[in-house]
Structure 1
Amino acid sequence: MEEFIQGVGIVGLVVLALVGLAAGWIASAVAGGRHRGRYMIIGLLAALATPLLLLALGVTVLAASGLVAMVVAALIGAAVVLFLAKLIFD
């Protein structure tokens, strides 16, 4: 975990958090504006957890590719988790 934070840096974590919040906001807009806070929190957590999960699974290409690859992975992970959340909550 510490290696991930050192590799990405504080700015990278902030970018991942903003990606997750934006994905949650978009998901709430698609869902008709309901549960905006819930979707934003889920998007935030998913965007931060996806690169960590991939790193734990041994996908090291993210670290080599840099912040852009991590943001793309975080966006995809947040979208998948938000889709599942929409199926559960709506």
Structure 2
Amino acid sequence: MEGFFEGVGVAALVILALAGLAIGWLAGALSGRSKAVYAIIGAVAAMATPFLLAALGVTVIAAGGVLLVIIVGAVGAAVVVGLVRALSGRR
């Protein structure tokens, strides 16, 4: 797992944050709710997903390169933002 942290780098984290921000903002815009809150949730989820999977032992992500890490982060952000949207009591 240590190799994964070395391999990700700062540039990939910035790209993950931007992808999460975009997904969160889009979810907020589509639902008519706070775009900023969803953007922050998306950014945090996108950056956390690859690390969570690496901690669970899914090391093939690091071998797939930065593009695969970004795709996994974007999917993770979409899932978390969708969960937050579904679990929030406001309609």
Same fold (TM over 0.5): yes
How many residues align structurally?
89
Query: Is there any run of 5+ residues in structure 2 with no aligned partner, and where?
Result: none
Instruction: Indicate the RMSD between aligned Cα atoms, in angstroms.
Output: 1.5
With structure 2 as the length reference, what TM-score do the two structures score? Answer: 0.89
Q: Deviations over 1:31-55 (max 9, x none)?
A: 12x2111101100110011000000
| 5+ residue gaps, structure 1 | none
- Identity among equivalent pairs (%): 52
Q: How does 1:24-63 map to 2 (within 5 A)?
A: 24-32=24-32, 34-63=33-62
Runs of 4+ in structure 1 deviating by more than 4 angstroms, as ranges, are: none
